[in-house]
Amino acid sequence: MSNLKRHLKKQHGEELSMLENGNAKFKTMTSYLIQPLIASRKARLDSKLVALISVANLPMNIVERPSFRDFIEVFVCTILSIK
């Protein structure tokens, strides 16, 4: 058994069983972790992203690249799990 699976069973047993039985509100762990951000938080993130792109002189289409989107998904999941 993996560390993640062991953690899920110990700390999130009810949610895990609902997910495994198909009774969960979210059908995947990703959809559970990536919940809609509140508008003010989204505005702050958008502002910081624009600043990053402009200061680092990055191309605007960087946000369309799969690797960038993967990075943001991991970043948001990490932030949501911390708070």
Averages of pLDDT over runs of 10 residues in the chain (83 residues) are 78 78 65 59 82 87 87 74 57
Residue 52: name the closest of 66, 33, 76, 68 by CA.
68
Give me the residue spans of the domains in the chain: 1-33, 35-83
CA distances from 51 to 16, 29, 55, 58 (A): 39, 31, 6, 10
Q: Has this prediction a pTM greater than 0.85? A: no
Dihedral of the alpha carbons of 63, 65, 71, 73, in degrees to the nearest 10: 70
**pLDDT for residue 71:** 84
C-beta of residue 24 within 8 angstroms of C-beta of residue 32:
yes
C-beta of residue 80 within 8 angstroms of C-beta of residue 35:
yes
